[in-house]
Amino acid sequence: MIENLWLGTKNVPAESGKTFTVLNPATEEVLAEVADGASADWMKALDLAHAAQKPWAAFAPQARHDILMDLFHAVMERKDEFATLMVNEMGKTWKDALAEVDYGAAYLRWFAGEAIRLPGRYAASPAGNGTITVRPHPVGPCLAITPWNFPLAMATRKIAPALAAGCTMIVKPAAATPLTMLAFGEVVAEVFARHDVPHGTLSFITSTDSKNLSKELMDDPRLRKVTFTGSTKVGQTLVEQSAKNLQRTTMELGGNAPFIVCADADMDRVIKGLMVAKMRNNGQTCIAANRFLVHSSRVEEFQEKVVDKFQSYVTGYGMDETTTLGPLVNAEQRDHVAKLVDQAIGAGATALTGGFTPQGPGFFYPATVLTDVKPGADILKEEIFGPVAVISTFESLDEAIERANDTKFGLAAYAFSENAHTVARLANELQAGMVGLNRGGISDVAAPFGGIKASGFGREGGAEGIDHYLELHYVAQP
């Protein structure tokens, strides 16, 4: 099966005729050959986006609302189709895949509402010499570069506010998981045809050449914004490239989330939160808890419960209803996790469960619990992106907060305590863009998602999410 890219609402092969292979990470079988876009393709997409920008921006906010709601319903009508694609190309369990369809579609619905609530204000000048009018305008053509771990939701979180604001967009999905976005492109083509949306308003360019795609598009001053979810290293490169044309950037980058368990924590609530914060999506989330800091008085109880939960996971193909832990996305990711674990064990850490690389087809790695990890180990400094929990202890809240913040990253943090004063202090002192207190699930379409420090800047979702796609124009009148 060969999948083409989408130039506007036209499904076409890459200009070069080249393709790349997409594998099922559970079986290593070939799922499809996908068009491998190159310069001619993405520059054509920018030509179309530039030409469509003015007519798309002229659509009334209510019309943009209606189109986004139509997209929402169209995705939900194909919920099983999208979930199946994500199980097969990314390795999710069926439960996680269904949850992502709900979550991804919800951004379309949320920003449909934001389209008719665009910010702006009118006021008398304090000097009494006229009026101040502030009007929002779309920033213009945008580039969205999305990751492989949430093939639908990470794209809709960018596409929906761009469309709501009146921006055109080029979407570059990850080469490991392009099929979900190509299926979404088909939905977009059908919905846009019903509403006479200008051709080129939204394009989907699949390619293995991310470096040249971003470089060439960002070298063109017609591109006005870049939104990226991925590694800090790549994000830094994109920010540097944006300087030439002063393009806006939204960067949702790496994380190294701490998970603090205080002496007075409700352990049942802790374990429930851990299963979401650590194990959702096979541990492959940017906000996944990496470092578990547990008060010494509770560590034995915590370890026993975590090991029991981790040993209960059933590893396998996500479409099997008994599977609760799928594979990692590819061999590179599995080997990265294995290397971090092996290094830690080689330096003296103990694996209470897991800690080995399975043999046979599929990029599987077992649910693993490590203790006695030496300070400074790579597994404490790097984003694990796999089903591995690293446990250490602390004696005081001051120590816990200091160690939690001892990282260059600042995307998410989690903490559990039944003491109101402790919770208030944790909320105030943890250095992260998002803090989960007594809960492990923090993603919400109505909340601003993003980080600080090396985890990036800008926010996606919430009422704040549309701001990054708008320019404010001030009009002074007598």
Residue numbers annotated as active site: 252
CB 412 within 8 A of CB 442: yes
**What is the total residue count of the chain?**
478
For the CA atoms of the chain, what is the radius of gyration? 23
| Cα-Cα end-to-end distance for the chain | 64
CB 341 within 8 A of CB 355: yes
Beta carbons within 8 Å of 344's beta carbon, 6+ residues apart: 370, 373, 374, 377, 378, 379, 390
Alpha-carbon distance of 35 to 19, in angstroms, equals: 4
Half-sphere exposure of 317 (CA within 13 A, CB side): 11
CB 413 within 8 A of CB 432: yes
Cβ density class 115-149: b for 16+ within 10 Å, e for less = beebeeeeeeeeeeeeeeeeebebbbbbbbbbbbb
- Residue identified by tokens 């491998």 is 36
Helix (H, G, I), strand (E, B) or coil at 423: helix
Alpha-carbon distance of 367 to 283, in angstroms, equals: 9
Q: In terms of Cα–Cα distance, which of 197, 157, 211 is closest to 181?
A: 157
Sheet holding 289-295, edge to edge: 350-353, 368-371, 388-394, 289-295, 257-261, 412-416, 434-437
* DSSP assignments along 94-125, one per residue: HHHHHHHHHHHHHHHHHHHHHHTS---EEEE-
Distance from chain centroid for Cα 427: 23
Beta carbons within 8 Å of 193's beta carbon, 6+ residues apart: 9
Helix (H, G, I), strand (E, B) or coil at 90: helix
Q: Is the dihedral of CA 203, 208, 212, 215 positive or negative?
A: positive
